[in-house]
Chains A and B, each alone.
Chain A
Amino acid sequence: MRRDLTTSLLAVVVMTVFLGLAYPLAITGVSQVLFPGKANSSKLSFDGRVVGSSLIGQDFKGKPAYFQSRPSATEYSGNVTFFGNAGPNSVEAREEVREYIKSYLQLEKPFDKSLTREDIPVDAVTQSASGVDPQISVANARIQAHRVSAVRQIPLTKVEALISATTDGRSLGLFGEPGVNVLRLNIALEKEAPLK
């Protein structure tokens, strides 16, 4: 018993020092040297200043000149996160989706006359898990392209080319789903056709 206690005490100290401090600090050190950009949250710059992270979605609500991110339960918080927790059979979830559909149609239909409820991709009217999903589906981006091209007064084909350029395919062509990185797309837009 006494030997177990001694060894346990020593183990608590040794393991805390090596697994709890040496290991993560060493990984931090090596990461900061090898991958400084990635280790420090993949920041994106525009116009000489940092405007966000390519991995973290942002709020573009009320700015029709920009592509819109997916709905967020957290108001796109990058440091306090929680799930929306809408249940599969909940009345609140139905109301929430109805609201999102309504505002999506309100925003996009004036610029894409043939758009109907059936055409709306699910990602556009459901909350992401992280609240900061950096991507939208390609279908979602194609619909929004009509509005952005009209508001910015640039040809639709140009906007679609920018969408292609900022679409992340599946990793290694295999894993995950393709998606359009909204912040990178909006930065590309600003470069291509700045708002007056």
Chain B
Amino acid sequence: MAQGWLQIAIFLAVLIALVKPVGIYMARVFTDQRVFLSPVVGPIERLAYRALRVRPDEGQDWKEYARSLIVFSLLFWVALYLILRTQGVHPFNPQGFHSAPWDLNFNTTSSFITNTNWQYYGGEATLSYFSQMAGLVVQNFVSAAVGIAVVVALIRGIVARSGGQIGNFWQDLVRILLYILVPVSILGALFLVSQGVIQSLGHATVIHTLAGSTQTLAQGPVASQEVIKELGTNGGGFFNVNSSFPFENSTGLTNFFEMLLILVIPAALTYTYGRMVGSQRQGWAIFSAMLALFVVGVAVVYIAEQHGTVAQHAAGLHTHAFSGSTGGNMEGKEQRFGIADTSLWTAITTVTSCGAVNGAFESLTGLGQAVPFANLGFSEVIFGGVGAGLYSMLLYVILAVFIGGLMVGRTPEYLGKKIGAREIKLVALGVLVTPLFTLLSSGLASATRLGTRSIYAGVNPQGFSETLYAYLSQANNNGSALAGYTGFIQPNPPGNVGAFGISFADLLGGAVMIGARFLPILFVLAVAGSLAGKKVSPAGLGTMRTDNPTFVFLLVGVVILVGALTFFPAILLGPIVQSLTTRLF
């Protein structure tokens, strides 16, 4: 395992080294300063404002900002839905795919607008290249930019000393796309192609194999989608098996690069935050809390997966490592990634809202599954989705300040601003709305025959895990799955043939994704607006500090407390049961 730990350590080291430079760069982008790309991108930016008829220097209060964001997302929802509905008539469709059923289109549209990328379909067998490019790739960019814009607005609200303005949505959107997401994607896509990720528009090719049978090799514009899928913490694979397919993720190096893409923006945003509020220590405090929770998760998955599964041991398989074999639970994992890199990826994709996978979650060990459950149960505040992670974490920060304030008996203050009843109500709503969506929908799906039709594993802990995880994932806009539940092309069809296009699952999931994305955004923007007008009082001796280890500890405690109180009973019934027993179901 030493080699595995080393790889994990190197990954963390590279990530931490990137936090400061990327964080500074993003802060300059968000505050409308010059960056090294300005000479190239500046003219394009001005052209974009003119084309969109936007006055970038026109400030918006939180309601105007929210209205622009909602109208924009709504129109894009309609556009994507129409593209998917009319797939049959578009170009770049060499396989001649028709559109999927309307309810599936509803789910997919809602999924990509909300940065979730939950997939009740297998991309390579359902969608044309046009739908993947003009439909999904666009949303991979846009939904990510929207998430980042919201956190930038919140930070402005925290910083603003007077007035209620929190920036201009259109300017944020354009600058995030042009200065951050697009340039990295262009370079990243070309790098991925150079390593074997495919990028073509041709028809799938049929070849005669060495052993004398035939095999069809998929084609498609994969690399251009793969890079933004990770960078924007989207996660929707071009292929059904996502980043485990060699055409999406061809080597140990592409795997490392893709993991870095997923985490770099969420991690660096903490530095950006520190810079924008004028105290780097505030940013590092939040980063430390995230890192601590993250590292524990990685270690648990890795140790659990290296151990092997109950079923494998019951079959008489020895899962220890020896010369030339990684050992461990290799079911649903790829040889080139092995146990360590699949475990690391599993933690990364669930602390963020990415949800791309490089191995089968359904085949993780019981304890290995518990980590994705916990990460989602903590509402993805450990780094989290681009923007979404930090704005969710800031809600927890305010909550921690409030709880800390109650404990020491002082009016809670954050960065000199008094936290009043209105802010705490909004924060509580923002923190609770996602768990509420999760529990109500997974309860409904577990308790009704319409819902249980989607289950693949049967009436047992694994089946319950599938259901809970499906709604946990959709409510948190993650998109990863215990994939038996997604139901597309079941290897063992009986009782589950039609999971593909089960209207109940499509519609409930779609509604959950939309609600659990946009309601928290509204609460966050409202908090931003509410804080924006507040006066800053100077810190005194009695001020509770929010940049020291004590506060980090308190913050971690609050995150765990809220997550555990909400989800512990449910998680017990699924993954924990499976990890504590040697029984087979």
Contacts and interface: CB of A to CB of B under 8 A. Distances in A.
Interface of A: 1, 3-12, 14-16, 19-21, 23-28, 30-32, 34-35, 38-43, 46, 49-53, 55-56, 58-60, 63, 66, 70, 73-74, 76-98, 101, 117-118, 120-123, 125-142, 168, 170-172, 174-177, 179, 183, 186-187, 190
B201 A28 contact: yes
Given A11-B170, A85-B483, 10 more contacts: A4-B67, A11-B52, A39-B193, A82-B490, A83-B484, A85-B457, A121-B322, A138-B323, A139-B325, A174-B10
Contacts of B48: 14
Contacts of A187: 210
Contacts of A39: 193, 198-200, 223
Contacts of B177: 15, 19
Contact of B256 (A31, A70, A134, A171): A171
B324 A137 contact: yes
Contact of B216 (A16, A79, A126, A170): A79
A120 B317 contact: yes
Given A31-B193, A51-B207, A128-B334, A83 B341 contact: no
A97 B186 CA distance: 43
A87 B462 contact: yes
Contacts of A76: 215
Contacts, number: 410
The interface centre, meaning the residue of A20, A134, A141 with most chain B CB atoms within 10 A of its CB, is A20
A77 B214 CA distance: 10
A187 B217 CA distance: 18
Nearest to B462: A87
Nearest to A49: B208
B273 to A, nearest CB: 27
B360 A190 contact: no
A81 to B, nearest CB: 4
B210 A7 contact: no
17 contacts: A4-B71, A8-B75, A20-B138, A38-B195, A39-B198, A51-B210, A63-B211, A79-B204, A84-B363, A86-B331, A86-B362, A120-B318, A126-B329, A168-B251, A171-B252, A176-B252, A177-B341
A88 B241 contact: no
B204 A179 contact: no
B325 A140 contact: yes
Contacts of B317: 97, 101, 117, 120, 122, 125
B142 A34 contact: no
A123 B67 contact: no
A89 B581 contact: yes
Nearest to A11: B52
Nearest to A46: B210
A16 B134 contact: yes
B216 A78 contact: yes
Interface string B48-65: 100111100000000000
Interface of B: 6-7, 10, 48, 51-54, 67-68, 71-72, 74-76, 79, 122, 124-125, 133-135, 137-138, 141-142, 170, 173, 177, 182, 185-186, 189-190, 193-202, 204-205, 207-211, 213, 215-219, 221, 223-225, 239-241, 244-247, 250-256, 308-312, 314-319, 322-338, 340-341, 357-360, 362-366, 368-369, 456-457, 461-462, 482-484, 488-492, 578, 581, 583-585
A135 B335 contact: yes
Contacts of A129: 241, 244, 332-334, 357-360
B53 A6 contact: yes
Given A23-B182, A121-B325, A80 B124 contact: yes
B331 A126 contact: yes
Contacts of B224: 23-24, 27-28
B329 to A, nearest CB: 7
Contacts of A183: 210
B53 A30 contact: no
Contact of A81 (B124, B141, B253): B124
B75 A9 contact: yes
Contact of B462 (A55, A90, A130, A134): A90
B182 to A, nearest CB: 7
4 smallest A-B Cβ distances: which pairs? A176-B252, A139-B324, A177-B338, A171-B253
A60 B211 contact: yes
B252 A89 contact: no
A94 B79 contact: no
B371 to A, nearest CB: 13
A48 to B, nearest CB: 12
A97 B317 CA distance: 8
B199 A137 contact: no
A74 B490 CA distance: 10
B497 to A, nearest CB: 14
B335 A118 contact: no
A26 B489 CA distance: 33
B325 A137 contact: yes
B53 A10 contact: yes
B237 to A, nearest CB: 9
Contacts of B363: 83-88, 93
Given A16-B79, A38-B195, A89-B461, A122 B245 contact: no
Nearest to A23: B224
Contacts of A55: 196, 246-247, 250
Contacts of A132: 245-246
Contacts of B193: 27, 31, 34-35, 38-39
B336 A135 contact: yes
A93 B53 CA distance: 59
B223 A40 contact: no
Contacts of A137: 324-326, 335
Contact of A142 (B244, B324, B337, B462): B324
A36 to B, nearest CB: 9
Nearest to B358: A129
